[in-house]
Amino acid sequence: MRQRYITWILWTFSFLLPGSAFSFEDEPFSESVVIFNTICAKCHEAQCSGRVSFGDAYERSSTHIIRHYNKASGKIWLQKELFSILNHMKIKCAYYPMSVPIPPKRIWNSEILEKMTLLLERKYFIPIGPFSPGLYKLELNLARDEKITIHLVSEAFDMIIEDCFLSSEKRISVPFAIEETGNYYVRIYPRKPVKITRLVISTEHPVAPQSPDNVQ
């Protein structure tokens, strides 16, 4: 907790010192980012457009934060981190950055996914990196069968997937299409807490239509 507080103080002073070399984005609070992006972001993703009004001061926002996420009550460091993430979204119209590399072949194993979940609720927020237009497939492996709500969201907050799926043999497979080049993010909400053991995103290759000469 002391380390978090020190980081917060350094971040505050970095805005007061012109040309400061300290970058708050170099030390993202991964747990707080997952909390914000799974619980708070859905209400604030339109905020940078001016369609939602919200005070900038931390003192004014802390009551709002506690009302919508009661577990932050009494945790000043968490309230300040959530406020920082909210302010970032308002100012930059973007999700707060997370220092998580995209794994080779876009295969996220259990160890990687554990860094992007709330352990009790098992909600996940996973940056999946840049995509170009095309057809893809998202596959989840679960510790047991469960109903899962999946969101696939663009960096512009456009929803590509927003649906509930029931796993079969502890697997879910969802095809999807990307139309705009950009960074994308996956949010996962299980009906009951369940561990995601693997996430794979692969490229789908459409089957070319047969010509009349090839039809038997």
The overall average pLDDT reported for the chain is 76
The percent of residues in the chain predicted with pLDDT above 70, rounded, is 63
Give the global pTM: 0.72
Architecture of domain 104-203: Sandwich (2.60)
Q: Is 20 left (phi over 0), alpha (psi -120 to 50) or beta?
A: beta
Read off the pLDDT band of 213 (50, 70, 90): low
Scan for tokens 């978090």, then name that residue: 4
DSSP notation for 4-66: HHHHHHHHHHHHHSTT-S--GGGS--HHHHHHIIIIIHHHHTTGGGTSS----SHHHHHHHHH
For the ranges 12-16, 134-138, 155-159, 201-205, the one whose mean pLDDT is highest: 134-138
Q: Which residues of 93-114 are buried (b: 16+ CB within 10 A; e: fewer)?
A: eebbebebeeeeebebeeebbe
Residue type, 46: A
Contact 189, 98 (CB under 8 A): no
Query: Where in the chain are the domains?
Result: 2-92, 104-203
Nearest alpha carbon to residue 41 among 127, 111, 109: 127
Mean pLDDT of 25-53: 61
Given this model, what pLDDT does residue 214 score? 46
Mean pLDDT of 109-121: 89
For residue 11, is pLDDT > 60?
A: no
For residue 17, is pLDDT > 70?
A: no
State the Cα–Cα distance between residues 124 and 196, nearest whole angstrom.
9
Given this model, what pLDDT does residue 10 score? 42
The burial of 152, by beta-carbon neighbours within 10 Å (0-12 exposed, 13-18 middle, 19 or more buried), is given as buried
For residue 3, is pLDDT > 50?
A: no
For residue 97, is pLDDT > 50?
A: yes
